[in-house]
Chains A and B, each alone.
Chain A
Amino acid sequence: MTIGKRLAGLLATAALIVTACGGSSATAAPPAASTGASSGASTVPSAVPSSAGSASSAAPALSGSITVLDKYGDPRYAPYFDGVAAAYMAANPNVKVTIDHETDQGVKDKLTAMAASNSLPDIYFSWAGDYTKKFVRAGMALDLTAKVTGDWLNSFGSAALSAYTYDGKLYGVPITLDAKYLAYNKKMFSDNGIAVPTTLEELLSACDAFTAKGIKQPIAFGNQFGWPAIHYMTQLNAYDVPAATLATDYNPATGAFTDPGYLKALQDFADINQHCLTQGSNGISHENAQANFINSKVPMHYLESVEFSVLTKAGGAPDEIANNWGFMKLPAPSGAAGDTGALEGAPDGFLVNANSPHVDIAVDFLKFLTSLDNAQKLTKDLGWLSPIKGSATADNTFPQNIQVVDDISKASSMAIWLDTVTQSDVAKAYLDGVQGMLDGKKTPADVVAGVQAAAASAKSSQ
């Protein structure tokens, strides 16, 4: 038995002991970053009608069982994936697909424990960036370059594939398309005679104007678990640091973070916080803050396009916001040194376990999952955009989502989430440091110093 396996078992035992001895009769429940969903394995029940058209129908009969680990345990999302698996099994009667649904946070814990014990499922969720590279470096992610070819390859938008391509090889199959936007309430802007900002300076002025009119802290912001602030930093780093420097620094082997743009980005965020953001945000969840925007108490909110459906009437939003919201990229500072055409966002995707005994089934299932029919169903059922070309139409989604597709196609580059694109020590330095900044305990210079130290540590351990 390797140390890895023993330690994984040991830590699992320790976690159980800690849970059991925690002084109370509780269950451990790590906080969900963006969903409050429960988790649990589910073997897909009875088949649902397939509208996707099995990509595998013409292939030789497949036989065997595969397991899938995703982060879509939210009851709103899980049925879609269960339904796709059921349809796949209906088309392939000798195949069994078991999906283990987790949450945003839970999937991180589980992937680490499974990687440590070399027991990863056949298909597993992974964020783009260094998060996926960890699996690639450890030989745990299958090179899909020779598998994703022909029409299947051409069905994807190129930006989504490039997010999972490293050293010219494709390691992941993207299934969603996501970007971060500043949503705003058109009616509140017009009622107060305030123009929609186009630069960061105009945004700060607009915030001051709202404050003067009694609408204080006009951008709804909850940073309870740290990542919402990191999303601001992702976009601001892209604006304030030249793209080539970013690429160098986001690589753990070469990262230094000495460019003055990093400090400028943090100072920009400090300005946004001072003029615009909800105060005491470290104690407020993203969802609680979002409720203030949905209820038209504040005019702006920074959110992902996969969350857009909560702003629609179908998603339960009141008419006042459902009929009056627009969105824009976070306005860039004037004279920014970086790429002001960059758009924050990344696809979510699945990797195939390099040691899976059922690679053929795993790849075939992913092909089925990303067929045009299933991609359109994803957009229709969940309001999410798919990386598959032509999946979003005026018939299956709301107008803002169509705009997002257009916007992504025009973006000069995609800025992947800072907490997944960087090495984990660097990500942690940003997460902790920016929380400390919001708490008034750290300055932007302190945060940069912490990030530089983390980058040096990461580099030395390569």
Chain B
Amino acid sequence: MTGRSRLGRWPMLLWVAPALALLVVFVYYPVVENFRLSLFKWSAFSKEQFVGLDNYAHMVADPVFWGALFNNVAYAVVSVVCQVFGGLVLAAVLEELVRGRLKGILRTIYFIPAVLSLTVVGLLFTFIYNPQIGLVNGFLGAVGLSQFQHSWLGESATAIWSIIAMSQWQNVGYMMVLFIVAMQRVPRELYEAAYIDGASRIEAFRRITIPLVREMTLLAMIITISGAFLVLNEVWVMTAGGPDNASQTLASWLYKSAFFNDKMGYAATIAVAIFIITMAASIVQLFLNRGKSVQY
């Protein structure tokens, strides 16, 4: 019997123990503790009081919570369409139609917004959306569409959509790069064979590219949808959830409930809701894509 087999699995467990300990302490323990704390009424300035499911009842009756959830869903839907689908199309166009130095230049141009600080981008778009001096209203006025001018971040009907639009601008390039990486792993022979058989570029995109980047698409969907339910920074920098909570998202409402309204227990309840939603979305996507990966 060798020394290795005598030790059995212990060395392996030893190697994974640090990472496991970090996960337990910084991820799993807070999640479990958060569930427990959602059952308490508590503020930074008062003692805790067990209230059972009162916080959950309050959340269900809270119109701001439902408005925030709607905004998150809108964020997710638009992000999937613009970032995942748009990023896929953009990647395919760059890979298939653009050649030479221009390809690298365009790739860089599309990717640059993704590396900018969200605070900087948020402030930049605050100016772009400014009703008096902003580029958007200026452009609309210049082309005779002044009836469509708005106080984009100041009206409840347009605030969240303006933030969502900014987010698409910033992140579509990131998704594009992910898809480019996936597409570069697709063997060129498949495309050449398809073109010899008379396939058009669109058919090749549909029948070769899309199936062979399915796993990356799944990853992009998970990143996008999970991210959409965790959106905080964009909202906080541009509107702080206003006007009159019209652009709150679940994360910004959690933050405001905890640190402005001083309702820590209620904030923990919202955190539970976010956890359940993002976990469910990820499980559903993994289940739907189970066994569908394409090998080549």
A contacts, CB < 8 Å to B: 3-4, 6-11, 13-15, 18-19, 21-31, 108-109, 112-113, 115-116, 134-135, 137-138, 140, 223-226, 278-285, 288, 292, 424-425, 428, 432-433, 435-436, 438-439, 441-442
Contact between chains at B40 and A224 (CB < 8 Å) = no
Known: A22-B231, A26-B118, A438-B154. 18 other contacts (CB 8 A): A4-B42, A11-B267, A14-B30, A14-B34, A15-B255, A18-B251, A23-B226, A28-B232, A29-B122, A224-B242, A225-B240, A279-B151, A280-B132, A283-B152, A283-B153, A283-B155, A284-B131, A439-B243
Q: Which residues on the A side are within 8 Å of B246 (C-beta)?
A: 439
Q: How far is the CB of A18 from chain B (nearest CB, A)?
A: 5
Q: Are A281 and B242 in contact (CB under 8 A)?
A: no
Partner of B244, one of A30, A112, A225, A433: A433
Is B236 located at the chain interface by the 8 A CB criterion? yes
Interface residues of chain B, those whose CB is within 8 Å of chain A, are: 26, 30, 33-34, 37, 40, 42-46, 48, 79, 114-115, 117-119, 122, 126, 129-133, 150-156, 159, 167, 170-171, 174, 223-224, 226-228, 230-234, 236-240, 242-246, 251, 254-255, 258-262, 264, 267-268, 271
Are A438 and B243 CB-contacts (below 8 A) given A112-B262, A280-B151, A281-B151? yes
Report chain B residues within 8 Å CB of A283.
129-131, 151-155, 159
A-B contact pairs, 26 of them (CB 8 A): A3-B37, A4-B48, A6-B33, A7-B42, A11-B264, A21-B230, A23-B167, A23-B231, A26-B117, A26-B118, A26-B234, A28-B232, A29-B119, A30-B240, A135-B45, A138-B45, A140-B45, A278-B132, A281-B151, A282-B153, A282-B243, A283-B129, A283-B131, A435-B243, A438-B243, A439-B246
The CA-CA distance from A153 to B37 in the complex, in Å, is 45
Contacts of A24 in B (CB 8 A): 114, 118, 167, 170-171, 174, 227, 233
Centre residue among A22, A25, A428, A435 by max chain B CB count within 10 A? A22
Q: Are A225 and B242 in contact (CB-based, < 8 A)?
A: yes
Report whether B258 and A25 are in contact in the complex, using a CB–CB cutoff of 8 Å: no
Contact between B171 and A14 (Cβ–Cβ < 8 Å)?
no
Q: Smallest distance from the beta carbon of A239 to chain B beta carbons, Å?
A: 25
- Chain B positions within 8 Å of A428 at CB level: 260-261
CA distance A138 to B239 in the complex (A): 32
State A24–B117 Cα separation when bound (angstroms).
Answer: 9
* Contact B230 A22, beta carbon cutoff 8 Å: yes
* Interface contact A284-B236, CB-CB below 8 Å: no
Q: Do the beta carbons of A280 and B33 come within 8 Å of each other?
A: no
In the bound complex, CA of A6 to CA of B38 (Å): 13
Decide if A3 touches B48 in the complex (CB within 8 Å).
Answer: yes
Which chain A residue shows the least CB distance to B157?
Answer: A439
Q: How far is the CA of A318 from the CA of B153 in the complex (A)?
A: 30
Given A224-B153, A282-B154: A27 and B130 interface contact (C-beta under 8 Å): no
Contact partners of B46 in chain A: CB under 8 A: 138
- Docked-complex contact A7 and B264, CB < 8 angstroms: yes
Q: What residues of A have a CB within 8 angstroms of the CB of B255 in the complex?
A: 15, 18
Residues of A within 8 A of B261 (CB): 424-425, 428
Cβ of A113 and Cβ of B259 under 8 Å apart? yes
Chain B residues in 8 Å Cβ range of A15: 255
Nearest Cβ in chain B — how far from A424, in angstroms? 6
Of the candidates B151, B224, B267, the one whose C-beta lies within 8 Å of that of A282 is B151
- Residues of the A chain whose Cβ atoms lie less than 8 Å from the Cβ of B170: 24
Within the complex, the shortest CB–CB distance from A403 to chain B, in Å, comes to 31
Q: Measured between alpha carbons, how far is A279 from B150 in the docked complex, in Å?
A: 10
By a CB distance below 8 angstroms, the chain B residues around A292 are 132
Residues from chain A with Cβ under 8 Å of B150 in the complex:
280
A14: contacting residue among B126, B167, B271, CB under 8 A? B271
B243 — which chain A residues lie within 8 A by C-beta? 226, 282, 435-436, 438-439
Provide the bound-state CA to CA distance between A63 and B259, in Å: 34
Interface contact A29-B233, CB-CB below 8 Å: yes
By the criterion CB–CB under 8 Å, are A29 and B237 in contact?
yes
Contact of A7 among B223, B240, B268 (CB under 8 A): B268
